[in-house]
Chain A
Amino acid sequence: MRARERLLQFHDKKGWLFFGVATLITTVLIPLLNGMPKSFPLAVPDYMMPLIGKFLCFGMAAIAMDLIWGYTGILSLGHGLFFALGGYAMGMYLMRSMAGEGVYRSSLPDFMVFLDWKTLPWYWHGFEHFWFAAAMVLVVPGLLAFVFGWFAFRSRIKGVYLSIVTQALTYAAMLLFFQNATGFGGNNGLTDFKRLLGHSLQDPATKKALYVTSAIALSGTYLLARFVVTSKLGRVLTAVRDAELKTRFCGYESTRYKTFVWTLSAMLCAVAGALYVPQVGIINPSEMQPSNSIELAIWAAVGGRGTLLGPLLGALFLNGAKSFLTAAFPSAWLYVLGGIFVGVTLFLPQGFLGLADVWRRRRARAAAAADKKAAGP
């Protein structure tokens, strides 16, 4: 059966088993453990759910990053922008859905009342509908990424140049969103959300549902990314990464491939951002800081680029470490992070998964050598 063969291209059987188990743990087991009474030793407390959910969103962003950097060789230092834009679209829906329940009991979001605005800016219209906001989560970052990518790739901007320009892009957007006049709450961003689709965000059940949604979205993102990189298109992307000129000479219009994967990656990132916002309860321009986007890149680098799984694990690991260290040893975290940036690039260019690969190969070689010896003369 063709579908079966195609699926086996994603993973071998062992890989699928692993994927199935991991998905079951994140989507079923953890919510079940959350439901356990507190006395149960493995019970996951309520406050952990949004935290893990947040990590899973970062994992999605890391997979998106891997598509563009690991497989296509384009280091984006602006993916935080797409993440934040998705978040803002969701935040706008959350703000609109609680019209009349803000501090000022106005139909406008609180910050607009505070700024003495009388009417809703035109770009806020429609966000009272969830479907519209959900569409905008994909459309706005997608469109921005498409336009930017098309022009950038068409002018053959690549390498560090592209990285710097993407960084400037997110920096400019950050400055723009910091402005009150831009209409997205300025410094404070959007916050104090009440309900999502009629369910209170304070309710543990809602939190659990958001978590499960994030987990399913993560699995979906992973499968989609796996689908892309194992397709013929994915092979072209890898070829572009390794030898763009040769690929062009073979007749592949690399600009189109790059623009496609760039846009896809931006949209995945935006979905992650949209799921992230209701779980942390705030979105503000600091999400667009250049440093956030760079951290996104280091998640991918730590885990191992071009593996999809590696960046995901890198994101989970680094964010877990960050949560722990910033609480336990606040002044040490930047040293750890800086050290990881330097150490991973210097000593682990393939990330931790690459290290695992090296070990596996070495063991295989050792086993082969042992076989040879056993076979003997």
Chain B
Amino acid sequence: MGVPAPAKALRRFPTGRLAFVALIIVVMGDGAGRVALAGPVEDAVKGLASPSGETILANIKQLSTLGDPRGIAALQALTDDRLRVGADGNAWIYDKKTRDLVDPFTGAAAPPSAKPAREVETDNDIRRAAEPVLAELQLGSPEASVRLGAAQELSRSGSEGVGALLHRALDREKDKGVQDALAMAVARVDVGSNDANLRLAAVKLIQKSGNDEMLGELQRLLGVGADGKPNEPDDRVRDGAQDALKAVMNRRRLITGIGSIIHGLSLASVLLFAALGLAITFGLLGVINMAHGEMLMLGAYATYAVQTFFQSHLPNFFGLYLFAAIPVAFFVTFGVGVLLERVVIRHLYNRPLETLLATWGISLLLIQSVRLIFGAQNVAVANPDWLAGGVELAHGLVLPYNRIGVVAFVIAVSVAVWALLYKTRIGLNVRAMTQNRNMAACVGIHTRRLDSWMFGLGSGIAGLGGVALSQLGNVGPELGQSYIIDSFMVVVLGGVGRLAGAIVSALGLGIVNKLLEPVAGAVLGKILVLGFIILFIQRRPQGLFAIKGRTEA
């Protein structure tokens, strides 16, 4: 065992080792310090700092009998090779962060009289003896997180002789998470037991939790030995194992499914960013912007540029660079969009097919320009600290913060777009124009100006999508190309110029895509989806949410 149990357990919590020491202080309640050197625990801890291996072993046993969680810190330090014998003969813990000696009970810094200190010699025997005792003490800890860590570690190692200890701990455990981990630990120990009843109870426990850590054990139970006889002599246990295996596989499938949905949601978010803009421009202007994917790409590169700027000029505020990147990306792409509309697209409003070609040409120009400016290689945009990592929802199911962030961001942007279109004067004008452009112009709506603003808005939303995309993966000049066809499909499926349509079909496409991936493979899944859309629009050429617009489609 490389890293001792509790250290590994602790690393799963954001606090870290110092907090562990602090926690012990809290546990103790009083900062008694070295003055009160009385009591059996104190004696035993002092005894750990002995040059004799036998004395150490005896004191470990003593700590085990005492069962007082105050011994945890010292034992932990012992297994980590951080326990020191001070010049005063007392036991001290070497703190790696402060590089100083601290008191094993209070965490207070050691007085000068303790120094110099030397390391307590440990060997494998000592460590082997210390670890179960440490786990045992931790299982008795009043802090649920400490118990959970110990239980998880025990469920992984499942060393002999801890069975009874685990059973005891399981019986008195109240916390749900710790209970599960303890149950796994019990199961792991018991499944190798000679008592068929214990083995049966173990597989029942596995079945209840569905945890796939024990998959190997179950398969071994169900397997057939070299002599042709089943590994498991007892029928009941075999049946139980069969059921447990089924439960484990079901749970595993569920977790993969949920994982796919999470990935699908974030893909859907990116698609939605692209499709929102497309839906607006297509619905309002009746043109398809083939350079729309490049707006995603420009947004992502804008994020990269802001990130680089923060790295070199404002390293102290690096965690905040995303908040600067959002407006930068939006206004860069908004500007490019408006410029595009003014220079090119405005002149092609009556020729939608040619617009397609012209915007394709623009996308080539944009890609090549970015390639010349930033290089043809992909660049990496780092997640700020607060978007790195994720929450572990269940064993094996991690919900990454960056994906949560992207989904939240797209929701916010969709709400903003909805509010803009349905709650403001501009939105009213835009909707009027979508329905009847000439009439809208007659009642005094400045249609030309709105055209270019809306084109800019669509591009800007795609630019925001680029910010989101930069948080999910690498950024390269061809980034937009891989999303453009999918986002067209979203628009085709959702119907032209409909926000709700775009949202529903982006969600649907994103999730279906990712759900098909584990079943059919990434490529085949995509082909199936494309095939479905081609068939779908045979039936409903106007998309899911058809409106009677005036777009010639």
Residues of A within 8 A of B (CB): 69, 73, 75, 77, 148, 151-152, 154-161, 163-165, 167-169, 171-172, 175-176, 178-179, 290, 294, 297-298, 301, 331, 334-335, 337-342, 344-346, 349
Contact = CB atoms under 8 A, between A and B. Distances in A.
Contacts of B488: 164, 167-168
Given A160-B353, A161-B553, A345-B354, A151 B485 contact: no
B552 A341 contact: no
Contacts of A155: 537-539, 541
A337 B364 contact: yes
A192 B367 CA distance: 33
A345 B492 contact: no
B110 interface: no
B344 interface: yes
A299 to B, nearest CB: 11
Nearest to A344: B357
A169 B361 contact: no
Contacts of A157: 537-538, 541
A175 B522 CA distance: 10
A341 B489 contact: no
B358 interface: yes
Contact of A338 (B361, B371, B552): B361
Nearest to A154: B538
Contacts of B344: 342, 346
Given A163-B356, A290-B485, 20 more contacts: A75-B353, A155-B537, A155-B541, A159-B352, A160-B288, A160-B356, A165-B534, A168-B489, A168-B530, A172-B526, A172-B527, A176-B524, A297-B357, A335-B368, A337-B361, A337-B364, A338-B364, A341-B361, A342-B344, A346-B344
Contact of B365 (A160, A297, A342): A342
Contacts of B348: 345-346
Contacts of A161: 492, 537, 541, 553
22 contacts: A152-B538, A157-B537, A159-B553, A160-B288, A160-B352, A161-B492, A164-B288, A164-B492, A165-B492, A176-B523, A179-B521, A179-B523, A331-B372, A334-B364, A334-B368, A338-B363, A338-B368, A339-B361, A341-B360, A341-B364, A346-B344, A349-B354
Interface of B: 282, 287-288, 344, 347-348, 351-358, 360-365, 367-368, 371-372, 485, 488-489, 492, 521, 523-524, 526-527, 530-531, 533-534, 537-539, 541, 552-553
A75 B367 contact: no
A172 B530 contact: yes
A341 B357 contact: yes
B508 to A, nearest CB: 16
B523 A178 contact: yes
A335 B523 CA distance: 31
A346 B344 CA distance: 7
Contacts of B371: 331
B531 A346 contact: no
A11 to B, nearest CB: 28
A167 to B, nearest CB: 6
B61 to A, nearest CB: 61
Contacts of B355: 345
Counting from the closest, the 9 A-B pairs by CB-CB distance are: A341-B361, A338-B364, A338-B365, A334-B368, A172-B530, A345-B358, A345-B354, A338-B361, A75-B353
Contact of B541 (A69, A156, A171, A349): A156
Nearest to A295: B360
A152 B533 CA distance: 12
A344 B360 CA distance: 12
Contacts of B367: 334
A115 B211 CA distance: 37
Contacts of B364: 334-335, 337-338, 341
Given A156-B541, A159-B353, A334-B367, A346 B526 contact: no
Contacts of A349: 351, 354
Interface centre among A290, A337, A345 (most CB of B within 10 A): A345
A294 B357 contact: yes
Contacts of B361: 298, 337-342, 345
Contacts of A156: 541
Nearest to B528: A172
Contacts of B353: 69, 73, 75, 159-160, 163
Contact of A169 (B347, B362, B534): B534
Nearest to A172: B530
A346 B553 CA distance: 22
Nearest to B290: A294
Contact of A171 (B357, B485, B524): B485
A182 to B, nearest CB: 10
A3 B451 CA distance: 54
A165 B534 CA distance: 7
A340 B534 CA distance: 31
B360 A294 contact: yes
Contacts of A335: 364-365, 368
Contacts of B541: 155-157, 161
B354 A168 contact: no
A168 B352 contact: no
A323 to B, nearest CB: 18
Contacts of B357: 294, 297-298, 301, 341, 344-345
A161 B492 CA distance: 7
A343 to B, nearest CB: 8
A233 to B, nearest CB: 22
Contacts of B534: 148, 165, 168-169, 172
Interface centre among B288, B344, B530, B533 (most CB of A within 10 A): B530
Nearest to A165: B534
Interface centre among A73, A175, A298, A339 (most CB of B within 10 A): A175
Nearest to A161: B553
A160 B541 CA distance: 12
Interface centre among A69, A156, A341, A346 (most CB of B within 10 A): A341
Given A172-B530, A345-B354, A159 B552 contact: yes
Contacts of B287: 160
B356 A75 contact: yes
Given A75-B353, A155-B537, A345-B348, A163 B362 contact: no
Interface centre among A69, A156, A161, A346 (most CB of B within 10 A): A161
Contacts of B362: 338, 341-342
Contacts of B347: 346
Nearest to B286: A160
Contacts of A342: 344, 358, 361-362, 365
Interface centre among B288, B368, B489 (most CB of A within 10 A): B368
A357 B388 CA distance: 63
A190 B220 CA distance: 47
Contacts of B552: 159
A331 B371 CA distance: 9
A340 B492 CA distance: 28
Interface centre among B353, B524, B530 (most CB of A within 10 A): B353
B538 A179 contact: no
Nearest to A297: B357
Nearest to B492: A164
Contacts of B533: 165, 168
Contacts of B523: 175-176, 178-179
B430 to A, nearest CB: 20
Contacts of A297: 357
Contact of A339 (B354, B365, B372, B530): B365
A171 B352 contact: no
A156 B348 CA distance: 23
A311 B166 CA distance: 81
A334 B351 contact: no
Contacts of A158: 553
Contacts of B492: 161, 164-165
A17 B329 CA distance: 59
A175 B538 contact: no
Interface centre among B352, B357, B489, B553 (most CB of A within 10 A): B357
A165 B537 contact: yes
A340 B365 CA distance: 10
